[in-house]
Amino acid sequence: MGAPGSTKNVRLNIRVSEHEKDIITKAAVTLNTTVSEFVLQKAYVEAQAVLAEQSQFRLPDKQWREFCKALDSPPKDIATLRKLLAEPGVFDGSS
C-alpha cells in the first residue's frame, strides 16, 4: 500500500463517535483485519481515487478527438495577452 520499503513511523489520530467505531470495528473483524489496517487501507484507496479524479478524465471518442484537435491547433493570437506576457511580472523585479 505504501511506498516499497517504507516504514510506518507517523501516527494519524481521528475522533469518531461510539456508533462509528462500532461499525468500523465490525467491518474490520468481518475482513479479519485490525481496525488500523482497515481504516488505513480504505482511506488510502479513497485518497488515491480523489487524486486521480483531479488529474485524469475520460471523454467519449468524438469529444476526445475534438479535444485533441483543439490541443494540436496553433494558439490564438490575443494581442492583450501577448502584451501582458511581455511585461515584467511581480516576481521579475529586483528586490
pLDDT in tens, 5-50: 678 889 999 999 999 999 999 999 999 999 999 999 999 999 999 9
Q: Do 38 and 28 contact (CB within 8 A), yes or no?
A: yes
Within a domain: residue 40? yes
pLDDT at 5: 61
Calculate the average pLDDT of the chain. 90
Residue 3: its H or E element: none
Within a domain: residue 6? no
pLDDT at 94: 60
pLDDT at 89: 87
pLDDT at 91: 87
Distance CA 13, CA 74 (A): 51
Residue 25, domain extent: 18-86
Within a domain: residue 65? yes
| pLDDT surpassing 70 at residue 56 | yes
Q: Do 34 and 28 contact (CB within 8 A), yes or no?
A: yes
Domain count, the chain: 1
Within a domain: residue 13? no
How is residue 76 annotated by DSSP?
P
pTM over 0.75: no
Within a domain: residue 39? yes
Within a domain: residue 95? no
